[in-house]
Amino acid sequence: MLRLRPFVIHFSKDSINNTFDESCSHSGVLIGQTVDDICTGKTNISDIPKITVVKLDGKWVTANNRLLWVFLQLEKLGK
């Protein structure tokens, strides 16, 4: 398993939805609420799925854009 800091990973799209879809265990939950829940201890970071990344044109890219957004916010907050 490769470990990367969120800030080195790029989004695969220009915009993302603000809620998780039905394919995720957090279906219907706002991505900002997920950040808040992790910060307050309501949700454990280990409960959040790992994201998959691929190297594309020399850059790490993910299709898990909402999760990347969550991880970026947590990194900014020092979590």
- pLDDT, tens only, 51-69: 999 999 999 999 999 999 9
- Domain ranges in the chain? 6-76
Q: 18 — phi, psi (to 5°)?
A: -95, 5
Whether residue 29 contacts residue 19, with contact meaning beta carbons closer than 8 Å, is answered with yes
| SS3 assignment, position 46 | helix
Look at residue 66 in the predicted model and tell me its pLDDT: 93
Strand partners, 62: 11, 53
Answer whether residue 49 shows pLDDT above 80. yes
Confidence band, pLDDT 50/70/90 cuts, at residue 46: confident
Inter-residue contact 29 to 38 (CB < 8 Å) = no
